[in-house]
Amino acid sequence: AGPCDLYSAGGTPCIAAHSTTRALYSAFSGSLYQVKRGSDNTTTNIAPVSAGGVANAATQDTFCASTTCLITVIYDQSGKGNHLTQAPPGGFNGPETNHYDNLASATGAPVTLNGNKAYGVFISPGTGYRNDKVSGSATGDAAEGMYAIFDGTHYNDGCCFDYGNAETNNLDTGNGHMEALYFGTNSAWGSGSGSGPWVMADLENGLFSGQGSKQNTADPTVTYRFLTAVLKGGANKWALKGGNAASGSLSTYYSGARPTASGYNPMHKEGAIILGIGGDNSVSAQGTFYEGVMTSGYPSDDVENSVQANIVAAKYATTSLNSGTAFTNGQSISLRATTSGYDTRYLAHTGATVNTQVVTSSSATSLKQQASWTVRTGLGNSACWSFESKDTAGSYLRHNNFVLQLSANDGSKLFKEDATFCSIAGLGGSGQSIRAWGYPTRYIRHYENVGYIASNGGVHAFDAASSFNADATWAVSTSFA
């Protein structure tokens, strides 16, 4: 059985079932998600390898070979047509054309399920999905349940990495107009014990960790690499649970009456579905989503326990984030541009500015050093890499507003993540592409001889699709200095 078969058997059927990694019904063999590639802007659908099975990642890998790919649709497997697509603007604008949110990279969150490769949905700040015209979801004070599997190591304190029920007009329409899972370290409204991240309930104008609107210490810090988060709400009751999606059972963090703060009892749920954003399209948060469902009715604890057992049996596990040539900690490299007409230039820095410079064996030592980097284990994720300057120890290549710069490591989580890059098979066919860990739609690229993290055909001039693959492909050599 799949999770939604279990909810159905319990009398609380799924009204939405979203996953890029696997079928959530044992009989489901339709499309799980749609990807769009950068080379020709065409799309294809990814289905399970067999009914009830894991997503056919090989279809995606073939379709997306030597180009970039975005997740355009996360299909609803429930049969109700509640698909998730690129979120529109609301109280806050997204960064894309017409203020829509960004779409997620199709390759930012590789995993395996029982040894079979699949891809999750890596949400960078600015990314979001939504459906405002949902069929069958809970409205008003009606009961619903939901769970999602997140990456418990991918979070921030922005508002709000959510999955669940939200406003149908993309605006903050008041307390109690949402009921969604939240994951991260935002403590502007509420918090749990420790320093977070926490699973909380986004009920609008509040992230709730228990009945009180501030700190509830029964809600623990949870950092399981694969995290099951569970929320359900009905008339004057709700519950929040979590657990390790790779083993063991769920723990109840809260189960009881609705908050006493005004507006949350009864609830005023509107029934839209969001992923990666707040109800008003707040787009500052990050996180990773693998699968999630929403139900009609208040699921029993027994059903939720059997769903957790089903999730554990799916055997989520990590796999390499790198597909290019392996780097090693301590390796000294130079990176040569491969774009025709620019291929005598190397990625270098001039003070804090990162650019490309023509360097040869007879260049001055200072210029050779500016074009030389020491590879380090990724400061923000040890599965990827950071690049320390040869001539300015302690300073690293990082992005800031998508512009590369050389900066001293200030020890912050944001710096470390901005200075972390994964090694990807060269988009240009040979060589190496280098992807920003936190923005997997973006690759180190030169544009007018300046260094950026660029997406293929995005809104900035430096995102130009023209010559993207070549500009984002580097020849790695032993360093000049």
Query: What residue type is 186 in one-letter code?
Result: N
- What residues from 406 to 435 belong to the interface with ligand AHR (CB under 6 A)? 414, 418
CB of 265 to ligand AHR, least distance (A): 16
Q: How many residues bind ligand AHR (CB under 6 A)?
A: 28
User: Can you read off the two tokens belonging to residue 157?
Assistant: 């304190």
**Under rule CB under 6 A, residue 280 binds ligand AHR:** yes
Burial 356-377 (b: 16+ CB within 10 A, else e): bbebeeebeeebbbbbbbbbbe
* Least gap, CB of 3 to ligand AHR (angstroms): 25
- Nearer to ligand AHR among residue 53 and residue 125 (C-beta): 125
**Residue with smaller CB distance to ligand AHR, 401 or 478:** 401
**Amino acid present at 185:** T
- C-beta closer to ligand AHR: residue 55 or 160: 160
Is 446 a binder of ligand AHR (CB under 6 A)? yes
| 383 binds ligand AHR, rule: CB under 6 A | no
Q: Give 148 or 245: the residue with its C-beta nearer to ligand AHR.
A: 148
Among 5, 202, 219, 304, binds ligand AHR (CB under 6 A): 202
The reply on whether position 448 binds ligand AHR by CB under 6 A is yes
Binding of ligand AHR by 204 (CB under 6 A): yes
Instruction: In whole angstroms, give the CA distance from residue 188 to residue 278.
Output: 14
> What is the DSSP code string of 86-133?
EPPPSSS--SSGGGPPBPEETTSEEEEETTEEEEEEEE-TTB-EEESS
The residue of the chain with the least Cβ separation from ligand AHR equals 278
Please name the residue that has the structure tokens 């409204």. Answer: 189
- Least separation in angstroms between CB 16 and ligand AHR: 18
- 280 labelled catalytic: yes
Cβ atoms within 10 A of the Cβ of 448, count?
9
Residue with Cβ nearer ligand AHR (187 or 310): 187
| C-alpha closest to that of 396 among 369, 412, 416 | 416
Whole-number Å distance between alpha carbons of 71 and 65: 15
Catalytic-residue membership of 202: no
Choose which of 74, 159, 181, 240 interacts with ligand AHR (CB under 6 A). Answer: 159
Peptide bond into 160 cis (omega under 30): yes
Does 471 contact ligand AHR by CB under 6 A? yes
Which 3 state secondary structure label does DSSP give 367? helix
- Contacting residue, 366, 401, 430, 478, with ligand AHR by CB under 6 A: 401
Least Å distance, CB 124 to ligand AHR, is 8
> Using CA atoms, how far apart are residues 238 and 265, in angstroms rounded to an integer?
11
One residue of 106, 149, 160, 347 binding ligand AHR per CB under 6 A: 160
Cα separation, 405 vs 8, in Å, equals 53
Among 164, 184, 279, 428, binds ligand AHR (CB under 6 A): 279
Regarding 101 and contact with ligand AHR (CB under 6 A), the answer is no
What does the alpha-carbon distance between residue 236 and residue 34 come to, in Å, rounded to a whole number? 39
Chain mean position to CA 279: 17
* Selected catalytic residue, list 76, 101, 162, 280: 280
* Strand, coil or helix: 77: coil
144 binds ligand AHR (CB under 6 A): no
β-bridge mates for residue 453, sequence order: 444
The CB-of-454 to ligand AHR minimum distance in angstroms stands at: 9
Structural element, H or E, at residue 469? helix 468-471
Least Cβ distance, residue 118 to ligand AHR (angstroms) = 26
Rounded to 5°, the CA angle 157-161-162 comes to 140
Beta bridge partners of 234: 237
10: left (phi over 0), alpha (psi -120 to 50) or beta: alpha
Of 77, 168, 282, 381, the one binding ligand AHR by CB under 6 A: 282
Return the residue of 80, 135, 342, 383 that touches ligand AHR, per CB under 6 A: 342
Q: Which of 5, 162, 204, 270 is catalytic?
A: 204
Binding site for ligand AHR (CB under 6 A): 159-160, 172, 202, 204-207, 278-280, 282, 339, 342, 399-402, 414, 418, 438, 446-449, 464, 467, 471
**What residues are annotated to the active site?**
204, 280
